Chains A and B, each alone.
Chain A
Amino acid sequence: MNVENVQAQMRKGVLEYCILSILSKNDAYATDIINELKESKLIVVEGTLYPLLTRQKNAGLLSYRWEESTQGPPRKYYALTDAGREFLKELHASWNELLGAVNSINTRSIKNKS
């Protein structure tokens, strides 16, 4: 067990949640999502995203439409479906729970130490 591994696991866990979260603001195409995730240092390489998007779409959480692009091939614009919104809501709730849990553990252990 090493640090990178655990970090990767953590990122992996929240990645799907973050994708849905990004799309809840605006419809976006893969590169937009990637840029945002890259900024937050959630992903390093772009290839990671494509399987996730495709799976979420197949699970009915996302839909997409083709849009012509001025530079390059037509792009897939992804949007959340109603099911996706429901799913995101649940994830939001779990995330907050998780965040609370982690915070409370952290603060408690700090208290214990001091």
Chain B
Amino acid sequence: MKKTVKINLGGLVFTLDEDAYQELKNYLDSISSRFRDMKEGNEIISDIESRIAEIFQSKVNDKKEVITLQDVNDVISIMGKPEDFYDAEEESDSSAKTKDYTRKENRKLYRDPENAIFGGVAAGLAAYFGIETWIVRLLLVILTFPIQVIFIIYIILWIVLPRAVTSAQRLEMRGEKVTVSSIEKSVKEEYESVKDNVKRVSQSKEFEKTKNVFGEILHVIGQILLVFLKIILVIIGIAFIIAGMVAILGIGSIVFFRHALFPPDIWPLIHGIPFTEFFHSFADPGTFNLFSFACFLVIAIPIIALIYGGIKLIFRFKANDKPVGLAGLVLWLLSLITMVTILAYDGRGNDTTGQNTESDYLGPFTSDTLMVYMQKDPGIENFNDDLYYNDDEEWNIISDADKTYGKINIDVVFTDDRKFELLVRKKSKGRSKITAMIDAENIIYRYSQNSNNIYLDPYFSLNKIHKWRSPETEIIIRVPEGKHIYLDENTRYFLDEIDGIPNGNGEEAAGKVLPF
């Protein structure tokens, strides 16, 4: 079974096999490209077409209605190929005109459904380059591991490339000659056509001295510029692809190898806050993930577009890529809007401070002196007790898999009351007092008491499912009149406001017994 095509040739209707149609079309294209630019070109072409119609007419009868490839080949051998025409006005340049018409590398990129495993993209590429399909597949698979974006490109090509369904498309997909250097060839063809045009100008000087020489020269200059433009486009295309790949590799290595190359604790700090905690400070983790995803798309879509554009500039294939491009653009804009919205909305999350105070009377003990120590081992994964010996901002916030920890402050104040009292004052910021208070309530803080010894955890913690909005925790110890408090040396860098010690010099109280 063969598909047929109906054509109108010289005013008569013929039915052609599809391969015959393709052959005839190529032939007529080659004729038309030979004569198109001459002023009597159209007439010559239509004369030739009516002659072909005449020959076809003699080939069909009641029993044979369809023109076959054989018939078309007969016609071509009767009429001759354009390079076989000789023409008195065209001097001896017929040798330069040996632009062979046989399917002149009009190879197009298609998907090949007949040899497909998934979409036939690899098979189509193989046909385009004239190499074995398995080589392309192997390359794709091997290269996809280091350059994941190839996978995305594959999907895009799958979507935009037309399937080679008809035999004509299959012919186009393969082309006839198997040369890998099809790019070079198309550029060469371009160059040849310029050369022809230059020749034509020199001829037109001889034959038509009077007019249009200037116009023709302009035309030729235009053609030369066009070739340069095309070469430049190919170079730009290659540059696009390389740039895109480098960008992907760069981003990829940051994302994937970040922890290998830069362990989290030396990852650059923003105002003393590790990178991810910085994001946490204005977004809850769900929003954070959305933000990261939007961020990824905002960066990735242009890169993918860049690579795709590069491929398209080089291969110059026709593809139905408008819907995909449009979808990409919309997605990109949406991502951008999402990013901006998150920044604008959550950035305002820090307007109001809300606080939540839990107060505790300490259990009875015999001594008049309360001993305050920092918990030596608070059981936090990334904990480092250097914290007790130097005042490095780096330790203000640490985190593990599911919690973020913030350093506490200790205040010691006088109270009229008769008992020692310990207040845990949790603060957070929020858009409103209430949300801030709710956020503050999510802060977890522990301490322990053993007789007259108090062990304070150095950090409060906040589960990562909650927003990190500049939370703080103050431990306020209230000391009654006549009692004493001992602040261990290891509390030094936590001490803030201490009654009896000038403001801002709280650290001096460490390692001393203070009377009240």
Contact = CB atoms under 8 A, between A and B. Distances in A.
State yes or no: do A and B come from one complex: yes
Interface of A: 5, 8-9, 11-13, 15-16, 30-31, 44-48, 50-55, 58, 69, 71-76
B53 A47 contact: no
B57 interface: yes
A44 B54 contact: no
B31 interface: yes
Interface string B27-58: 00001000100101001100110110110011
Contact of B80 (A48, A72, A76): A48
Contact of B12 (A31, A73, A76): A73
Given A12-B88, A52-B87, A73 B44 contact: no
Q: Describe B's contact surface by its main secondary structure.
A: helix
Interface in B277-314: none
B84 A71 contact: no
Contacts of B58: 71-72
A51 B50 contact: no
B54 A71 contact: yes
Contact of A72 (B40, B53, B84): B53
How many of chain B's residues touch chain A, expressed as a range? 20 to 34
Given A30-B47, A73-B11, A73-B12, A45 B35 contact: no
A73 B85 contact: no
Q: Which 3 A-B pairs have the closest CB atoms?
A: A45-B80, A72-B54, A72-B57
Contacts of B54: 31, 69, 71-73, 75
Contacts of B95: 5
Given A51-B35, A55-B40, A46 B86 contact: no
A11 B92 CA distance: 12
18 contacts: A5-B95, A8-B94, A11-B86, A12-B86, A16-B88, A44-B84, A46-B51, A46-B78, A47-B48, A47-B82, A48-B85, A51-B35, A51-B38, A52-B88, A53-B47, A55-B89, A73-B12, A73-B50
Contacts of B86: 8, 11-12, 15, 48
B125 to A, nearest CB: 37
Residue with the highest number of chain B CB atoms closer than 10 Å, among A46, A51, A53, A55: A51
Contact of A54 (B10, B31, B43, B51): B43
Interface of B: 10-12, 31, 35, 38, 40, 43-44, 47-48, 50-51, 53-54, 57-58, 77-82, 84-89, 92, 94-95
Contacts of B43: 54
A73 B80 contact: no
Contact of A48 (B12, B40, B84, B89): B84
Contact of B31 (A47, A58, A74): A47
A63 to B, nearest CB: 14
B204 to A, nearest CB: 14
A31 B78 CA distance: 11
A109 B35 CA distance: 43
B88 A54 contact: no
A12 B88 CA distance: 6
Given A44-B80, A75-B54, 10 more contacts: A5-B92, A8-B94, A47-B31, A47-B48, A52-B87, A55-B40, A55-B89, A72-B53, A72-B57, A73-B57
A54 B40 contact: yes
A73 B47 contact: no
Contacts of A72: 10, 12, 50, 53-54, 57-58
Given A58-B40, A71-B57, A72-B12, A50 B78 contact: no
Nearest to B82: A47
Residue with the highest number of chain A CB atoms closer than 10 Å, among B78, B88, B95: B88
Nearest to B86: A12
Contacts of B81: 45, 47
A40 B489 CA distance: 121
B44 A50 contact: yes
Contact of A47 (B11, B57, B85): B85
A54 B43 CA distance: 7
A30 B95 CA distance: 26
A111 to B, nearest CB: 33
Contacts of A47: 31, 48, 79-82, 84-85
B51 A50 contact: yes
Nearest to A48: B85
